[in-house]
Structure 1
Amino acid sequence: MNVHHAPNPVGTARPAEPTGSPAHAPAPLPRVRAEVDLAAVRDNVRALRGLARGGAGVMAVVKADAYGHGMLPCARAARRAGADWLATATPEEALAVRAAGDTGPLLCWLWTPGGPWAEALAADIDVSVGGAWALREVIGAVHAAGRPARVQLKADTGLGRGGCAPADWPALVTAARAAEAEGLLRVTGVWSHLACADEPGHPSIPPQLEAFRVALAEAERAGLRPEVRHLANSPAALTLPGTHYDLIRPGLAVYGLSPAPELGLPREHGLRPAMTLRAALAGVKRVPGGHGVGYGHHYVTPGETTLALVPAGYADGVPRHASGAGPVLVAGKWRTIAGRVAMDQFVVDLGGDPAEPGDEAVLFGPGDDGEPTAEDWARACGTIGYEIVTRIGARVPRIHLNDD
């Protein structure tokens, strides 16, 4: 097994090797660590390729540090498994992917006025345009970059966030075609995003599909012939084959999580969660009944018991909303966080079961060994699995396994 240590964020130094220890001594484990199985990432991409209909390719989304999993190792894993495209939100993310040596098709979609358009064009990054202002900025950057732009036009089909409003779409595609005819750019894609694909049968889905068909027809009437059309995010990739067009665009599913409980468990789609969050107990002690635990004493021991200190808190990405609710596997059993989650630590009540400092606590993982999953944490915190994995903090090292 190859093991690659890559802390977050990308570009920071690797953890220092321990000093002053005998050569044969094992390196101490970090107090908390996120293990990321890149074999699972590769298998998930392959599974998603198998789900794609009509010859559609896969655009693997690696934004937000690959949903907390480590952008560059996961980008490499996705490419090795056959991802045709990669996608990021911010231009800084896309430029980091290019700086790491990736040369394949790459889309970046979250732009603001004055962004590094010229740098992106020079790096052969497809840029998303969802309004006349963005098209003007792209055209202005073409001369600085010394090359035509690769542009993907985004239509707002009902999500109401980024993208061109339907009333403005005919003017945008006409202007883009005119710029294309002048040799300033190539419209490589037309795309949009679904609002409620994670809610099967939601009434917004058919109108959005029709709006996308209308947007594509308008683009064609304007004379545009995009290389790719894409609409399907993770939930649509899993459950709406009619949305697959030329590419599916999975994000969370690449990392083995289901976008919503209503869509089934990951294994029902051939997916495997890639991240396991582990910590080494920082202390174990016996206390009497009536002993307060944590800020505010929101937990008081019901009787004599054993408390274990887990050295991870909200500065590491453990949600404060998990106070009194978050599940943790310690000493072979599920425990619930006792009292409040603090900035750097929380406590679990072992109920008298034995443990030692340095023993392992597993906050979440695939669930193969009885540990909680990210979805279990999402339910406990009243949120979604996306937030659980993406919020893991910068001081938690990502340890990448199976980086073949």
Structure 2
Amino acid sequence: MTAVATRVRTPTLEIDLSAVAANTRRFVRATASSSAEVMAVVKADGFGHGLADVARTAVDSGATWLGVTSVAEGVAVRESGVDVPVLSWLNPVDVDVETAARHRIDLAVPGVRHLAAIAAAGAGARVHLQLDTGMARDGAAEDEWRALMRAARRAEAAGDVTVVGVMGHLAMAGESGHPANKQGLLALLNGVELAEQAGLRPVVRHLAATAATLTDPATHLDVVRVGAGLVGIDPSGTTRLCTALRLTAPVVQVRRVAAGVGVGYGHTHVTDRATTLALLPIGYADGLPRVASGRAHVLVAGLRRPVVGVISMDQTVVDLGDHVVEPGAEAVVFGPGDDGEPTVADWARWAGTIPHEIVTGIGHRVERSVR
């Protein structure tokens, strides 16, 4: 027997900006002793929480800088009405310098070639010299540092750029006390010394992201960059922050099945007893990781229930056992965990990934509700 909902609500992502505000204030307090300012990183649509909403909330709660990865994101920040320094740090060689300058967006410079292109635009861009401090990823490699400093001094003397800061990134900040963090800090400070020897006077040094901000005051320097922490994710695992997301989906169909019934594509799950199955209209196109199939749970009627079968593009099946709910009942996919529902961290564990991937992966057809 199958029961179908007569009115289907849509999966909804509830965004709690009061959690973002509380987390921001916590980071402001965490840096008070070091006098470092907080840069709220709102890349990837504010870690999936809404770029403009997170930016405004963070600034209203004490952040004095904003960080993004592209000029386009920086423009979106400005169009949201926020008027604090903004830094874009993942820029192509042909970055739109004029647009950045017009919207007062600082640019990170990861090498001599990028610097030459920015200087050639003649827009007087504000730049942060970005050094590779141990990740072999973004930033100038150590053997390019001196050349970058000298080129930056020439460009600044010509009036083509203003060197505002020197920045790096820590590879092992999630592991407090790891030797690589000390090495990264020393590398950044060495880069600052080289900049000063070249005649530059950067006014901001920044290295720490969320984890180091919480665990290693020595890395705070002048500015800390907090992104994941704003929305309740602590990569260091040392601090409980406020979760800002709750994802729900309606039960659209309920059916009673016998033992031995295959569920979903490939029959990866076969019922071992008579049971009740509930269908949710949400799947991997909405951000549920398919790899979590057979491991994940959701909360239905106050109880955690297992996801069975393969998570499909648009549909997920949940085993209710002998518990019966009516179509239209709410299933909580994840939330703060206060009522027993799974958390983003649970889903990350089931998918073998990190919470960042879960929160930034929720699809656009999921309705957003901001409060």
Q: Same fold (TM over 0.5)?
A: yes
C-alpha displacement of 1:137: 1.4
Matches within 5 A, 1:353-392: 353-392=323-362
Q: Does 1:131 align with 2:111?
A: yes
Deviations along 1:89-115, whole A, 9 cap, x unmatched? Answer: 122111111122222100001111222
Compute the RMSD of aligned alpha carbons: 1.3
Q: Show the 5 A alignment for 1:279-294.
A: 279-294=249-264
In structure 1, runs of 5+ residues without a counterpart are: 1-27
Unaligned runs of 5+ in 2: 1-6
Q: Distance in 2 between matches of 1:64 and 1:319?
A: 18
For the residue of structure 2 that corresponds to 1:174, the secondary structure is helix
1:320 deviates by 0.4
For the Cα contact (< 8 Å) 1:284–1:307, is it kept in 2?
A: yes
Please state whether the residue corresponding to 1:296 is helix, strand or coil: helix
The one-letter code sitting in structure 2 at the alignment partner of 1:388 is I
1:56-135 correspondence runs (5 A) = 56-135=36-115
- Counterpart of 2:159, as a letter, is G
Q: Distance in 2 between matches of 1:136 and 1:29?
A: 56
- Give the SS at the match of 2:15: strand
Q: CA deviation at 1:29?
A: 7.9
- Show the 5 A alignment for 1:103-182: 103-142=83-122, 147-182=123-158
Could you tell me how far apart the structure 1 residues matched to 2:79 and 2:121 are? 20
2:9–2:328 contact (8 Å) kept in structure 1: no
- Find the residue that maps to 1:204 and give its secondary structure: helix
User: Any idea what the Cα deviations from partners look like across 1:165-209, whole Å, max 9, x if unmatched?
Assistant: 111111111111121122221111110000011123333222112
TM-score, scaled to structure 1: 0.88
Does the 8 Å CA contact 1:69/1:398 hold for their aligned counterparts? no
Consecutive aligned runs of 4 or more in structure 1 exceeding 3 Å deviation: none
Equivalent position to 2:10, from 17, 31, 51: 31
The equivalent of 1:22 in structure 2 is none
Q: How far apart, CA to CA, are the structure 2 residues paired with 1:79 and 1:201?
A: 30
> 1:191, 1:231 within 8 Å by CA — same for their partners in 2?
yes
Give % identity. Answer: 49
Q: Distance in 1 between matches of 2:254 and 2:324?
A: 9
Q: What SS does the corresponding residue of 2:28 show, helix, strand or coil?
A: helix
1:140 CA drift (Å): 2.0
TM-score normalized with structure 2 length: 0.95
Which amino acid counterpart does residue 185 of structure 1 have in structure 2? Answer: V
- The answer on whether the counterparts of 1:60 and 1:251 sit within 8 Å (CA) in structure 2 is yes
Give 1:307's aligned residue.
Answer: 277
Match of residue 194 from structure 2: 218
Partner-residue secondary structure (3-state), 2:145? helix
Distance 1:129 1:30, change over 3 A: farther
Question: Which residue in the other structure is 1:46 paired with?
Answer: 25
Q: CA–CA distance in 2 between the matches of 1:301 and 1:201?
A: 48
Aligned length: 364
Deviations 1:337-379 (A, max 9, x none): 1010000011010001011111111111111111111111111
Counterpart among 343, 350, 357 of residue 313 in structure 2: 343
- After superposition, the Cα gap between the structure-2 partners of 1:339 and 1:385, relative to the gap in structure 1 and judged at 3 Å, is same
Q: Is the 8 A contact 2:251 2:327 kept in 1?
A: yes
